[in-house]
């Protein structure tokens, strides 16, 4: 079953209409860094107000905050956006944010026309979803707001420290099947993938495989969730056989397992610095998306525009991401 995305309805249901009203009536935001607030609550800001270029204070109320859907790895950023732009304590925002995952988020906006989805913070859509959106005739407006990377996960006991792009392609094409062929132990390689509708699988196919050969993964080697893949690589037969992939932010900041580490690719280890400099070879942007028909004064248009301001970029960095 798909998760609900964050919206005015879901936020107010979680927080309680009375609590939200009390907050808007003049309760200042907590001053501690833990709640992520950046200024006084913007209870007097109308929906049509435009944010200042470097504004640190909220310019939306919680009721005005648009319905946002997106990718799993973008959940912390969506929560930080709610805290910075609507004056919601960060812990409250974090508890209210859920998403439909990458493919479904794009479909909710561009195919199904969900009225609850007004803005996406999302990784690239799979090709089949792009085709669905084109067929639906919905015009979307998107821009890169952050940068992440496709990373490969192995057991910490695996002696292999780095693989080349060619070696990774050969592993996932089934041409290299034993770790000894790439400098490791004489054990079979167990290569995990994700489902076709996942954002990380889309990046994997775009950044690594391209038009090349890709072996079909058995169901047990294609977990449904990013967390499931990380768990599977960590737990597989209690051995160092397994390899899988995810996006850097997810495994570094959101979901990790003891006993795992990230592989270097072409000798470059993935990190915020190597991703920002694009020294790591498998970097890719993620996006903010709205309907092209979004009105200039609408909350979703304001939020979309704000992400390109200094304050918006600061929000992206505050949430731990690399701005595009």
CB 281 within 8 A of CB 273: no
CA separation for the pair 15, 310 (Å, rounded): 29
Report CA torsion sign: 297, 299, 301, 305: positive
Identify the helix (H) or strand (E) that includes residue 224. none
Residue 46's pLDDT band (cuts 50, 70, 90): very low
> Position of tokens 């435009």?
50
Q: DSSP letters along 249-300, please?
A: HIIIII---TTEEEPEETTB---HHHHHTT-STTEEEEEEEEETT--TTSHH
What integer pLDDT is reported at residue 318 of this predicted model?
94
Distance CA(147)–CA(285), nearest Å, equals: 4
**For residue 173, what are the CA distances in angstroms to 92, 160, 195, 215, 251?**
45, 19, 16, 5, 24
Q: Does the domain formed by 148-283 have CATH 3.40.50.1170?
A: no
pLDDT class for 235, splitting at 50, 70, 90?
low
pLDDT at 252: 85
Does the pLDDT at position 237 exceed 90? Answer: no
Tens digit of pLDDT for each residue in 193-212?
A: 887 777 788 889 999 999 99
pLDDT of residue 13: 37
How distant, in Å, are the alpha carbons of 121, 244, 270 from that of 150? 17, 10, 9
Mean local confidence (pLDDT), 115-124: 95
pTM for this structure? Answer: 0.74
Q: Could you state, in order of their start, the residue ranges of all structural domains in the chain?
A: 8-139+292-323, 148-283
pLDDT given for residue 4 in this prediction: 37
């Amino acid at each position: 079953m798909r998760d609900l995305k964050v919206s005015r309805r879901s936020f107010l249901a979680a927080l309680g209409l009375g609590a939200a009203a009390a907050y808007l009536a003049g309760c200042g935001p907590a001053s501690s860094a833990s709640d992520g607030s950046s200024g006084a609550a913007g209870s007097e800001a109308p929906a049509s107000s435009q944010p200042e270029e470097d504004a640190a204070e909220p310019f939306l109320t919680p009721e005005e905050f648009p319905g946002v859907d997106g990718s799993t790895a973008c959940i912390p950023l969506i929560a930080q956006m709610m805290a910075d732009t609507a004056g919601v304590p960060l812990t409250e925002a974090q508890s209210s944010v859920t998403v439909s995952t990458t493919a479904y988020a794009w479909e909710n906006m561009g195919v199904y026309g969900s009225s609850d989805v007004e803005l996406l913070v999302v990784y690239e859509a799979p090709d089949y979803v792009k085709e669905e959106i084109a067929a639906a005739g919905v015009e979307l407006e998107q821009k890169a707001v952050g940068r992440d990377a496709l990373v490969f996960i192995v057991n910490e006991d695996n002696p292999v420290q780095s693989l080349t792009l060619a070696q990774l392609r050969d592993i996932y094409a089934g041409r290299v099947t034993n770790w000894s062929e790439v400098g490791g132990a004489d054990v079979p390689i167990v290569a995990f993938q994700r489902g076709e509708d996942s954002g990380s699988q889309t990046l994997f196919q775009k950044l690594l495989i391209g038009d090349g050969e890709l072996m079909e993964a058995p169901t047990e080697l294609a977990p449904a969730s990013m967390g499931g893949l990380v768990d599977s690589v960590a737990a597989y037969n209690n051995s160092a056989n397994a390899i899988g992939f995810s996006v850097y932010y997810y495994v570094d900041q959101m979901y990790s397992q003891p006993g795992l580490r990230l592989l270097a690719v072409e000798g470059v280890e993935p990190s915020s610095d190597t991703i920002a400099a694009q020294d790591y070879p498998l970097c890719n942007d993620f996006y903010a998306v709205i309907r092209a028909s979004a009105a200039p004064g609408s909350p979703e248009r304001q939020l979309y525009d704000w992400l390109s301001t200094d304050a918006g970029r600061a929000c992206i960095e505050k949430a731990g991401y690399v701005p595009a």
